[in-house]
């Protein structure tokens, strides 16, 4: 920011102004708090630079100038009026410096926040409000009053100079607003208590709160409040319980303290000082109102912290899901949403629940998701018709918001990116799906030489392709498949993955085709399974799921099975064959543009290195490249980059729910040996 002055000249000017202010304050004889001055100047430069990039230099300059002059003048006049009528708080504050860099910063940030997405705008303004109110009630300095005036000035300037964000609101507004208000009230109390406890010169009306507990206990109590604030923002009931318990304890303790103990009167507390004025005595005696008011705010919004839903797919729901799936368009990975362990959200059920309150157009979309760690992790695209897809995404996100779940659309196709852009969400690539367009498929050409070799080898060795469903297979072949799969899993240092990677349990489905490679002696060489994909009531493709090689198989057996499947589906008139996505494989998408995406890609590389010996994502991607496919990037879409941490935990729980610490240690050892060339490649399909 400082290197490129042509892009953010006001940021540089703001830093110079903040630093100059520190020098001027020191020159007046005031005690120089250099660390605070430097931090204030830096924050002002960052805030002004952020606003300048969003609003332009001219509008930001107007906001900064007006947001400096108006609050400063208004505060000086207000304090002069209070001093003239002998108001105690005004008399104390009138001796302070009125302006500080934080005054301008508040006005600029509040005004510029009008251009943010609705939820982010509310969050930014709530945070600023907590800081301002805590300063006024607990600090009591003239600068605190000036920040309050800057807050009001910034709101007015934002309405006049900053266009409102065009991004659509996706949260459940009632629940999100209630959680924000509750967290703001509690956060204001926690911040104000910290100010009163740390600053010996604090003279706000509620400064007595800082003298109730010893320092160590104060730190612990504030820590509990901060934890409760974080949980309240996430909609967690535990945060509600902690907040109510802490506020009840604080209120009772303050009532006892004021009624029985000696009450410190701050700047009027001393034997050689005059008695405190009446308004100061009243404020100190009513200090207990601070936690009591926060308690009322939190309790009256308790309905925003409902229990999270739990449920599984019943027979009736599965029939509804399959009916919607066959007549809609959920993409090539949709069938994975029918697997055990997934929950299902039906848009029309939600319409019926809120029909009286929120009239809306009919929508029959369905979303399959896996709840874990406060995240609703979807199984690829929503099940819906094309026109209903965007509305299904918005309604599911709103439903998640009402239930304190983070909506995370995982492994979705690029056709939904415009919808997420309209919502202001963060998107990052997570996998590449390899797709064969069957209309022009053939095994000719140099790139598909391995396929021709595998097909010819199978004919020469007497290995045949056997089609069927799991229930139709002979018992002997099913037993061989089970033994093959068990051997494959036992060879891994980590448990078998699930979620979007099927196993034996997912083979037992009448709509899933199984393709085996069996020689003349009846010995199994390899197995693949193929999931159906539908569009507008028509079967348009199949997706590869289970893929296993037998013990000492024919070389190229899986290539033979995939080539055979492609030719069969081509003859049946299907449009495409998907080789599915490859999690954690190197991506072919364009380089990441945001810092958050670069961090995600770096973490992915580390995780891939650890898991490669067990799951072979990179070697699997190389295998799929033999078919010369067309690649489609699969994306993760979530409300913000800050949600990536809980989403990462949810993904780990979804893919490997039974993972144990000793297995992770074993995987790290295998990865270390693999990097030294001591482990052979057992991860190939």
- Nearest Cα residue to 521 out of 466, 463, 481, 478: 463
Q: What pLDDT is attached to residue 356?
A: 41
- Nearest Cα residue to 535 out of 492, 563, 574: 574
Q: What pLDDT is attached to residue 645?
A: 85
- Would you tell me the crossing angle of helices 57-84 and 34-55 to the nearest 10 degrees? 130
- Distance from C-alpha of 390 to C-alpha of 80, rounded to nearest angstrom: 57
pLDDT for residue 679 is more than 50: no
168 or 180, which is more confident? 180
Which stretch, 110-114, 191-195, 440-444, has highest mean pLDDT?
110-114
Q: How do residues 115-146 score in pLDDT, each as one tens digit?
A: 998 889 999 999 999 999 999 999 889 999 99
- Nearest Cα residue to 632 out of 506, 533, 529: 533
- Nearest Cα residue to 292 out of 324, 353, 246, 333: 246
pLDDT for residue 619 is more than 70: yes
544 or 15, which is more confident? 544
- Nearest Cα residue to 652 out of 581, 596, 586, 604: 604
What number is the average pLDDT over the span 515-532?
93
Q: What pLDDT is attached to residue 603?
A: 64
User: pLDDT category, 355, cuts 50, 70, 90?
Assistant: very low
What number is the average pLDDT over the span 548-558?
88
Contact 494, 614 (CB under 8 A): yes
Burial class, 340, CB count within 10 angstroms (exposed 0-12 / middle 13-18 / buried 19+): exposed
Least confident of 90-99, 221-230, 310-319: 310-319
Distances (CA, A) of 453 to 405, 464, 517, 555, 579: 50, 15, 15, 9, 20
- Distance from C-alpha of 109 to C-alpha of 154, rounded to nearest angstrom: 8
> Two tokens at 334?
């949709």
2 or 387, which is more confident? 387
pLDDT for residue 450 is more than 60: yes
Element at 651 (helix H, strand E): helix 644-655
> Two tokens at 387?
């026109």
What number is the average pLDDT over the span 341-365?
70
Q: How do residues 38-64 score in pLDDT, each as one tens digit?
A: 888 899 999 999 999 999 999 999 999
Claim: this prediction has a pTM higher than 0.75: yes
Least confident of 26-35, 195-204, 279-288, 631-640: 26-35
What number is the average pLDDT over the span 73-94?
84
Burial class, 101, CB count within 10 angstroms (exposed 0-12 / middle 13-18 / buried 19+): buried
- Mean pLDDT score of the chain: 83
pLDDT for residue 491 is more than 70: no
Burial class, 352, CB count within 10 angstroms (exposed 0-12 / middle 13-18 / buried 19+): exposed
- CA angle, residues 641, 646, 651, in degrees to nearest 5: 105
- Distance from C-alpha of 578 to C-alpha of 441, rounded to nearest angstrom: 13
Q: How do residues 268-299 score in pLDDT, each as one tens digit?
A: 555 555 666 676 667 777 788 889 999 999 99
DSSP state of 496: P
Left, alpha or beta for 376 (phi > 0: left; psi -120 to 50: alpha)? beta
Q: How do residues 456-485 score in pLDDT, each as one tens digit?
A: 999 999 999 999 999 999 999 999 998 888
Q: What pLDDT is attached to residue 666?
A: 59
Question: What is the percentage of the chain residues whose pLDDT exceeds 70?
Answer: 81
- Nearest Cα residue to 581 out of 402, 352, 336: 336
Question: What is the percentage of the chain residues whose pLDDT exceeds 90?
Answer: 44
User: pLDDT category, 431, cuts 50, 70, 90?
Assistant: confident
Distances (CA, A) of 102 to 23, 43, 301, 452, 654: 16, 8, 31, 71, 45
**DSSP track, 171-209:** S-HHHHHHHHHHHHHHHHHHHHHHHHHH-TT--STTGGG
What number is the average pLDDT over the span 533-552?
90
Q: What pLDDT is attached to residue 351?
A: 59
Q: How do residues 294-312 score in pLDDT, each as one tens digit?
A: 999 999 999 998 777 665 5
> Is the four-CA dihedral 567, 568, 573, 575 of positive or negative sign?
negative
Q: What pLDDT is attached to residue 242?
A: 95
Q: What pLDDT is attached to residue 359?
A: 47
Least confident of 141-150, 178-187, 569-578, 641-650: 641-650
User: pLDDT category, 25, cuts 50, 70, 90?
Assistant: confident
Q: What pLDDT is attached to residue 685?
A: 46
> Two tokens at 576?
């495409």
User: pLDDT category, 12, cuts 50, 70, 90?
Assistant: confident
Q: How do residues 621-670 score in pLDDT, each as one tens digit?
A: 888 888 889 999 999 999 988 888 888 888 888 887 766 665 556 555 65
Element at 545 (helix H, strand E): strand 538-549
329 or 70, which is more confident? 70
- Distance from C-alpha of 456 to C-alpha of 450, rounded to nearest angstrom: 10
User: pLDDT category, 229, cuts 50, 70, 90?
Assistant: very high
Spacing of C-alpha 180 from chain mean position: 17
User: pLDDT category, 331, cuts 50, 70, 90?
Assistant: confident
> Two tokens at 658?
């039974």
């Amino acid at each position: 920011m400082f290197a490129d002055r042509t892009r953010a000249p006001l940021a540089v000017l703001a830093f110079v102004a903040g630093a100059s202010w520190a020098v001027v304050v020191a020159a007046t004889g005031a005690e120089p708090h250099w660390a605070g001055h430097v931090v204030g100047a830096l924050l002002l430069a960052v805030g002004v630079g952020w606003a300048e990039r969003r609003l332009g230099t001219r509008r930001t300059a107007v906001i900064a100038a007006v947001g400096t002059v108006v609050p400063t003048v208004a505060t000086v006049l207000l304090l002069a009026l209070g001093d003239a009528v002998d108001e105690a708080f005004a008399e104390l504050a009138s001796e302070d410096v009125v302006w500080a860099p934080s005054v301008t910063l508040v006005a600029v940030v509040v005004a510029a926040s009008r251009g943010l997405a609705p939820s982010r705008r509310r969050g930014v303004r709530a945070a600023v409000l907590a800081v301002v109110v805590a300063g006024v009630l607990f600090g009591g300095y003239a600068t605190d009053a000036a920040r309050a005036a800057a807050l009001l000035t910034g709101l007015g300037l934002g309405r006049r100079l900053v266009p409102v964000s065009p991004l659509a609101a996706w949260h459940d507004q009632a629940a999100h607003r209630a959680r924000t208000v509750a967290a703001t009230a509690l956060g204001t109390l926690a911040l104000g208590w910290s100010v009163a406890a740390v600053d010996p010169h604090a003279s706000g009306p509620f400064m007595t709160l800082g003298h109730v507990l010893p320092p160590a206990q104060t730190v612990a109590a504030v820590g509990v409040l901060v934890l409760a604030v974080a949980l309240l923002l996430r909609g967690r009931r535990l945060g509600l319980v902690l907040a109510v318990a802490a506020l009840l304890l604080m209120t009772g303790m303050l009532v006892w303290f004021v009624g029985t103990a000696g009450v410190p009167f701050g700047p009027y507390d001393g034997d050689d000082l005059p008695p405190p004025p009446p308004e100061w005595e009243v404020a100190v005696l009513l200090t207990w109102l601070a936690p009591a008011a926060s308690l009322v705010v939190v309790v009256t919004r308790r309905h925003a912290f409902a229990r999270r839903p739990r449920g599984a797919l019943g027979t009736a729901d599965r029939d509804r899901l399959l009916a919607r799936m066959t007549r809609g368009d959920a993409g090539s990975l949709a069938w994975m949403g029918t697997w055990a362990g997934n929950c299902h959200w039906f848009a029309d059920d939600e319409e019926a629940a809120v029909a009286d309150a929120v009239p809306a157009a009919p929508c029959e979309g369905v979303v399959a998701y896996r709840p874990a760690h406060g995240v609703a992790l979807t199984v690829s695209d929503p099940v819906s018709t094309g026109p209903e897809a965007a509305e299904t995404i918005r309604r599911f996100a709103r439903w998640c918001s009402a239930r304190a779940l983070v909506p995370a659309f995982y492994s979705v196709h690029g056709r939904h990116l415009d919808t997420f852009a309209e919502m202001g969400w963060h998107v990052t690539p997570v996998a590449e799906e390899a797709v064969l367009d069957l209309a022009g498929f053939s095994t000719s050409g140099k790139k598909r030489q391995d396929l021709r070799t595998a097909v010819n080898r199978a004919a020469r060795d007497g290995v045949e392709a056997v089609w069927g469903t799991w229930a139709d297979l002979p018992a002997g072949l099913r037993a061989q498949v089970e033994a093959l799969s068990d051997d494959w899993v036992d060879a891994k240092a980590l448990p078998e993955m699930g979620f979007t990677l099927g196993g034996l349990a997912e083979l037992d489905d009448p709509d899933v085709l199984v393709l085996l490679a069996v020689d003349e002696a009846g010995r199994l060489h390899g197995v693949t399974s193929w999931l159906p994909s539908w569009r507008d009531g028509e079967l348009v493709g199949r997706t590869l799921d289970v893929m296993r090689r037998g013990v000492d198989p024919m070389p190229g057996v899986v290539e033979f099975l995939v080539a055979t499947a492609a030719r069969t589906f081509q003859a049946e008139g299907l449009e495409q064959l998907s080789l599915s996505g490859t999690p954690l494989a190197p991506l072919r998408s364009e380089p990441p543009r945001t810092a958050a995406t670069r961090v995600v890609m770096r973490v992915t590389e580390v995780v891939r290195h650890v898991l490669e010996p067990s799951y072979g994502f990179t070697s699997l991607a190389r295998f799929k490249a033999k078919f010369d496919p067309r690649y489609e990037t699969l994306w993760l879409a979530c409300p913000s980059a800050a949600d990536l941490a809980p989403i990462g935990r949810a993904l780990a729980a979804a893919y490997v729910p039974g993972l144990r610490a000793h297995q992770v240690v074993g995987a790290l050892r295998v990865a270390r040996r693999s990097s030294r060339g001591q482990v052979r490649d057992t991860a190939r399909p």
